[in-house]
Amino acid sequence: MTAPQATTIEFDQFAAVDIRIGTVVSAEPFLEARKPALKIVIDFGPEIGRKRSSAQITQHYGPIDLIGRQVCAVVNFPPRQIGPFMSEVLTLGFSDEAGHVVLVNADKPVPNGAKLH
């Protein structure tokens, strides 16, 4: 079986996606979610401020694990209503072999709000 082909996009399409790094300042279980998730607040610095996100990351992370951790997110998608919660950014991660999300982050600290180049 051959691997699926990646969809080709133009560089300008990629450049339109605003991916920033921020520090998680609060996290709590999202009890109303259909699938196990956390409600997190991420500080993206003075330009963007604090934004909320719902993330299905409970297999690898608990609320206490996230406080103070830097994470990457798309900050220019429109907000999305998830049950009673408004998610303002898309927190980014990769699926591990079991399909559980592992968060994307920088391997060294960078200023909150730094943009992916």
The reported pTM is: 0.92
Q: Which of 33, 34, 22, 96 is nearest to 66 (CA)?
A: 22
Q: How far apart are CA 55 and CA 21, in angstroms?
A: 15
Compute, in degrees rounded to 10, the torsion defined by CA atoms 55, 38, 73, 26. Answer: 180
What domains, with CATH codes, occur in the chain? 17-103 (2.40.50.140)
pLDDT at residue 97 greater than cutoff 90: yes
CB proximity list for 58: less than 8 A, separation 6 or greater: 29, 36, 37, 38
pLDDT at residue 6 greater than cutoff 90: no
Tens-place pLDDT, residues 39-89: 999 999 999 999 999 999 999 999 999 999 999 999 999 999 999 999 999
Q: Which of 41, 36, 33, 37 is nearest to 83 (CA)?
A: 33
Mean pLDDT, rounded, of the chain:
95
